[in-house]
């Protein structure tokens, strides 16, 4: 119902997302992105090809808007995102981005409903900074353009860079964000998201077939 309601509101207001800042966290890893299950025979060692028990990972937080790429923040190894350090990220990186682009009076900040995002501590901080927070529906990656940016990043890194160490992976992430993530690419996924709004609404908030590429 929340997916239907939020898309109804956007359609009614003819939302163009001109002042939206979409944010999210993503995890990129060197091993174990694909599980190749080649047989149902448990004795066949090929069943384990492509898996990794402890894959090497990098966790990032990022934000985008129609103005272009926003901040990209690398989380510390094994760092758990909690309300305090999440709010620190917003204060240090999001607020300056808003102030140098669209200004706090016009900006609308989108985040999903993760506990650290919607905690009273975080929401009080955002209120004190005069940042408007958009309502969000759970399980709605098809309504957030930054989700498609993460996918583009992972595909590009896997095809073009093929990193073998976490240092190489981190450098690849930085390269994508600074050279590949253009305003044109961002606009493409904002338009894609706007198309999805109508599909989700037509499905009464249900799941849709999302041909993202």
| Residue 106, domain CATH | 3.30.420.10
Q: Judge whether 83 lies within some domain.
A: yes
Burial class of residue 119 in the structure, from the number of CB atoms within 10 Å of its CB (0-12 exposed, 13-18 middle, 19+ buried): middle
Note the pLDDT of residue 47: 56
Q: Contact, 71 vs 93, CB < 8 A? A: yes
pLDDT score of 37 more than 80: no
- Whole-number Å distance between alpha carbons of 208 and 63: 25
Q: Which pLDDT belongs to residue 92?
A: 98
The pLDDT assigned to 211 comes to: 76
Nearest CA among 65, 51, 55 for reference residue 22: 65
Any domain includes 210: no
* Residue 54 scores a pLDDT above 60: no
Name which residue leads in pLDDT, 52 or 126.
126
Residue 212 forms part of a structural domain: no
Confidence of residue 209 (pLDDT cuts 50, 70, 90): confident
Domains identified in the chain, total number: 1
Residue 33 has pLDDT above 90, yes or no: no
With respect to residue 82, please indicate whether it lies within any of the assigned structural domains: yes
| Rg value, the chain, Cα | 19
The answer as to whether 167 is a domain residue is yes
Q: Answer yes or no: is 213 within a domain.
A: no
Q: Which of 56, 58, 60 is nearest to 30 (CA)?
A: 56
CA 37, chain centre distance (Å): 28
pLDDT band at 36 (very low <50, low <70, confident <90, very high): very low
Which pLDDT band holds residue 3 (cuts at 50, 70, 90)? very high
The dihedral region occupied by 81, where left means phi > 0, alpha psi between -120 and 50, and beta the remainder, is: beta
Q: What is the C-alpha separation between 21 and 140, in angstroms, rounded?
A: 16
Residue pLDDT, tens place only, 59-92: 999 999 999 999 999 998 878 899 999 999 999 9
Question: Do the domain assignments include residue 112?
Answer: yes
- 168 within domain boundaries: yes
Q: Residue 155 is part of which domain span?
A: 2-202
Alpha helices, DSSP H, located in the chain = 2-13, 83-89, 95-100, 115-118, 120-128, 145-156, 166-175, 183-202
Mind listing the pLDDT tens digit for each residue in 160-203?
A: 999 999 999 999 999 999 999 999 999 999 999 999 999 999 99
């Amino acid at each position: 119902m929340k997916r239907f309601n939020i898309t109804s509101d956007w359609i009614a207001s003819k939302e163009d997302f001109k002042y939206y800042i979409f944010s999210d966290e993503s995890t990129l890893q060197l091993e174990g992105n694909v599980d190749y299950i080649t047989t149902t025979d448990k004795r066949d060692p090929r069943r384990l090809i492509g898996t990794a028990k402890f894959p090497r990972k990098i966790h990032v937080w990022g934000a985008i808007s129609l103005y272009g790429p926003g901040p990209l923040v690398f989380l510390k190894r094994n760092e758990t995102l909690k309300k305090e350090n999440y709010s620190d990220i917003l204060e240090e990186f999001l607020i300056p981005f808003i102030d140098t682009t669209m200004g706090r009076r016009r900006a609308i900040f989108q985040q999903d409903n993760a506990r650290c995002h919607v905690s009273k501590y975080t929401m009080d901080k955002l209120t004190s900074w005069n940042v408007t927070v958009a309502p969000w529906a759970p399980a709605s990656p098809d309504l957030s353009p930054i989700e498609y940016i993460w996918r583009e990043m992972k595909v590009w890194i896997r095809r073009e860079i093929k990193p073998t160490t976490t240092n190489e992976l981190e450098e690849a992430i930085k390269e994508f964000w600074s050279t590949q993530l253009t305003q044109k690419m961002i606009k493409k996924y904002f338009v894609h998201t706007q198309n999805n709004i109508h599909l989700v609404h037509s499905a009464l908030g249900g799941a849709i077939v999302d041909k993202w590429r």
